[in-house]
Copies of this chain bind each other. A is one copy, B any other.
Amino acid sequence: MFTSSEENYLKAIFHLGITSNKGVSTNAIAKSLHTKASSVTDMIKKLADKKVLVYKKYQGVSLTSEGKKTAANIIRKHRLWEVFLVEKLNFNWDEVHDVAEQLEHIKSPKLINEIDALLGFPKYDPHGDPIPDKEGNLDQIEKSLLSTLAINEFGICVGVHDSSSTFLQFLDKQKIALGQEIIVVEKEDFDGSMVVEINKNKISISNKIANNLYIKKSQ
Contact = CB atoms under 8 A, between A and B. Distances in A.
A150 interface: no
A2 interface: no
Nearest to A102: B106
A44 interface: no
So how many copies of this chain end up in the complex? 2
A95 B99 CA distance: 24
B88 A110 contact: no
Contact of A106 (B90, B95, B99, B115): B99
A90 B118 CA distance: 10
A89 interface: yes
B118 A108 contact: no
Contacts of A110: 89, 91, 95, 99
Interface residues of A, number: 18
Contact of A114 (B90, B98, B106, B111): B90
Contact of A89 (B95, B98, B118): B118
B111 A99 contact: yes
Contacts of A89: 110-111, 114-115, 118
Contacts of A61: none
Interface of A: 85, 88-91, 95, 98-99, 102-103, 106-108, 110-111, 114-115, 118
21 contacts: A85-B111, A88-B118, A89-B110, A89-B111, A89-B114, A89-B115, A89-B118, A90-B114, A91-B110, A91-B114, A95-B110, A98-B108, A99-B106, A99-B108, A99-B110, A99-B111, A102-B106, A102-B107, A102-B108, A103-B106, A106-B106
